[in-house]
Structure 1
């Protein structure tokens, strides 16, 4: 079977790897000159299934209002002039209930847990290294209210069988000794011992190299013009240079670009670009740095230890495809780094980055089939692209090959938005626009 995968971020590369391992002839099309050049380039470095949770959560609307006047707020909203932005935000707000939060978290965590297990198997199978660590995630709280929220999350994790510990201040210091000097600022933490860390870009580059050596054809600097449909199938992929490529199946793994590529086919993917930032700090005092990942609940910022670097990432800007690097957001990352780990490394030597995360309003990615029998979507992972990459890729490979996935993937696809699995009307080369269900 010939399969075209569009996109060479961590999601696209893992998809290509597992499809090839399943016996497919795989071609990857990527507009940039190398893998992992966009969202996967400098993310927070977490593989955090225990922290897999939607941004849409109870209390977020009230917090968002307060954040509007906060200098270091984790969320910023700027109108991008599109109706889609307003609709997407309304959909997100509709998911900010206890019931929706529990439902969405119950969709996300099993996929994330499965993905981490797939990553571990993959790492052992091909001896892949990417500055990885398996020391867990520590979500630290600065207020009693945050600690209470962490305890509620712990109850959900317990229901799903996810390992976790709720720690007091002394437990926080035991888990991350470098926090001893700032322990007076913390009320406790939620520890997720099975989470992992590493350099996502390095992982993606090395996996792409292994996939290429196994026979995957990576074509970089290729601009996909459109997908051409005939009836209920994708007939071909047209490139901007006029080249036409045919395959038995096509997988769309283009992150934030997936919606624009799918819209002409009548598929209205609920994926919006949410901007994030990171800095990478050289470590000069390893003892003053975290051992793994520390997540600051107040600012929604993660601080992750690599071998000789500290990656500090977070923030969310709902502002369309704006990729400008805002000095104020970088200042917030540096403030949090200095507040928790003041001696780790020289912040004046930090390199700064910004990228767009492809997010759905309910937090769950779109992974699965479409109304076209040979088109599959693997996009919309938000801040959990690497966390869910291997598992999503395995699910997609099973879908492409008409196999039963190893986990329940019934609510991961477009079907959860309503009429997305409807048959394409006879006599039409493309379906009518598929709208989100109310």
Structure 2
């Protein structure tokens, strides 16, 4: 069948790739000038199944309250006259209930593990180069209390084949010698050796090229205006072409993979998606002293800051800001990322020199479980709401949705919409 995929980030491109492998005729519509130019452009670089723990936890509401007036808060909520924001906040509070938080973690773990296996399949088949490192992820803690909370979640993760364990200071320095200059200020650490890292933009661009070689048609610089409903189904997509003319693109099936922008487009056919933008930040710096820079991906849990080595660059990312669709850079939050990386690796980079700042709108669902599967319209499918784990869950999500469109049940325990 002919399938139109809306969006050329990691989710949309992965979906297109697997649909093409199944023999479908695939067209990808994207407003940017190429693949992975927005939220999939410069994230933290971590493929982190061990981070499959939702933001919505029983302890989170109190933390958010304490962080309300802090510009450098890990999760910053900016109240607005926006009904969608308040509706999201109420759903988020409900997902903080212990039983819901636990269920959401199990769903995220299942999808993360499936996606990890899918990464291996794609790498073997395509040979895409994307500064990939398979050395695990170290998580750093400022207090034993924070560590103990993480270890409780790690017990569940081990049951699902994700071994996240406490490590000693000696083992920490063996895994990452570049931390020697700052080890005294680290209270505790965990390590998961099955996690990975890499450049999402390079990977998605390479996968798009591989998909194009399979016959996928990419239409860039094409603005998506609305879905068009007719006779109880979606009958087309209204777009503005690069030449400025309007066009209706028709197909047998449509996949909504527009990240945070899936919500307003879905609204054009009366669907209310519980997906809201969570703005994240990153900085990218050239590495000046390779021996002083990390070779293992790291997470500072207290600050929600993520660091990954991407070839000769250091990527530092993190924080989440619920402030609508603004893409304005906040200098305080950018400064926090540089400050945290410099504190751990003081000699790694020229901290006052060339720094690339970036922000992207992560498509957050209230419980961090993405929406994948059918809608009430027979020809419309969803693949959105991955929040901070789009890089971790993206390839598996694309593979799973291709299975659903092909009439197969994906081989994982996950609450697919409409299935």
Q: TM-score range by the shorter chain?
A: over 0.9
Gap regions ≥5 residues in structure 1: 416-420, 422-438
Paired with 1:353 and 1:315, the residues of 2 have a C-alpha distance of 12
Partner of 1:8: 8
Matched, 1:26 2:32: no
Partner of 2:400: 395
Partner of 2:386: 381
Paired with 1:237 and 1:150, the residues of 2 have a C-alpha distance of 44
Paired with 1:355 and 1:369, the residues of 2 have a C-alpha distance of 27
Segment of structure 1 superposing worse, 161-170 or 282-291 = 161-170
Equivalent residues of 2:68, 2:76 under 8 A apart: yes
Paired with 2:70 and 2:325, the residues of 1 have a C-alpha distance of 23
Q: Deviations over 1:27-67 (max 9, x none)?
A: 00001111111101100001111212211112111111222
- Which runs of structure 1 show a deviation greater than 4 angstroms over 4 or more consecutive aligned residues? none
Paired with 1:300 and 1:130, the residues of 2 have a C-alpha distance of 24
Partner of 2:151: 151
Q: Deviations over 1:105-161 (max 9, x none)?
A: 000111011101101111011111111010111111110111111211211112223
Give the TM-score normalised by structure 1. Answer: 0.92
Partner of 1:361: 366
Equivalent residues of 1:52, 1:105 under 8 A apart: yes
Q: Deviations over 1:55-82 (max 9, x none)?
A: 1112111111222344532122222321
Equivalent residues of 1:77, 1:318 under 8 A apart: yes
Partner of 2:296: 292
- Output aligned runs, 1:340-351, within 5 Å: 340-348=344-352, 349-351=354-356
Paired with 2:101 and 2:412, the residues of 1 have a C-alpha distance of 21
Q: CA deviation at 1:362?
A: 0.6
Partner of 1:57: 57
Q: Deviations over 1:248-298 (max 9, x none)?
A: 100000001101111122211000001010000111112211112100011
Paired with 1:80 and 1:6, the residues of 2 have a C-alpha distance of 29
Q: CA deviation at 1:374?
A: 1.1
Cα gap change, 1:174 to 1:70, in 2 (>3 Å):
farther
Partner of 1:407: 412
Equivalent residues of 1:57, 1:101 under 8 A apart: yes
Equivalent residues of 1:197, 1:304 under 8 A apart: yes
Specify the SS of the correspondent of 2:268. helix
Equivalent residues of 2:75, 2:319 under 8 A apart: yes
Specify the SS of the correspondent of 1:92. helix
Paired with 1:71 and 1:374, the residues of 2 have a C-alpha distance of 43
Partner of 2:125: 125
Specify the SS of the correspondent of 1:347. coil
Paired with 2:410 and 2:153, the residues of 1 have a C-alpha distance of 27
Specify the SS of the correspondent of 1:128. coil
Equivalent residues of 1:28, 1:217 under 8 A apart: yes
Partner of 1:426: none
RMSD: 1.3
Count of residue pairs brought into register by the alignment: 414
Paired with 2:98 and 2:192, the residues of 1 have a C-alpha distance of 22
Equivalent residues of 2:175, 2:296 under 8 A apart: no
Equivalent residues of 2:53, 2:153 under 8 A apart: no
- Output aligned runs, 1:297-376, within 5 Å: 297-348=301-352, 349-376=354-381
Equivalent residues of 1:228, 1:238 under 8 A apart: yes
Match of 1:252 among 240, 245, 256: 256
Equivalent residues of 1:295, 1:303 under 8 A apart: yes
Specify the SS of the correspondent of 1:234. strand
Equivalent residues of 2:107, 2:413 under 8 A apart: no
Segment of structure 1 superposing worse, 61-70 or 268-277 = 61-70
Paired with 2:203 and 2:351, the residues of 1 have a C-alpha distance of 25
Q: Deviations over 1:411-431 (max 9, x none)?
A: 132x5xxxxx9xxxxxxxxxx
Partner of 1:238: 238
Specify the SS of the correspondent of 2:397. helix
Specify the SS of the correspondent of 2:182. helix
Paired with 2:147 and 2:412, the residues of 1 have a C-alpha distance of 32
Specify the SS of the correspondent of 2:246. coil
Equivalent residues of 2:140, 2:186 under 8 A apart: yes
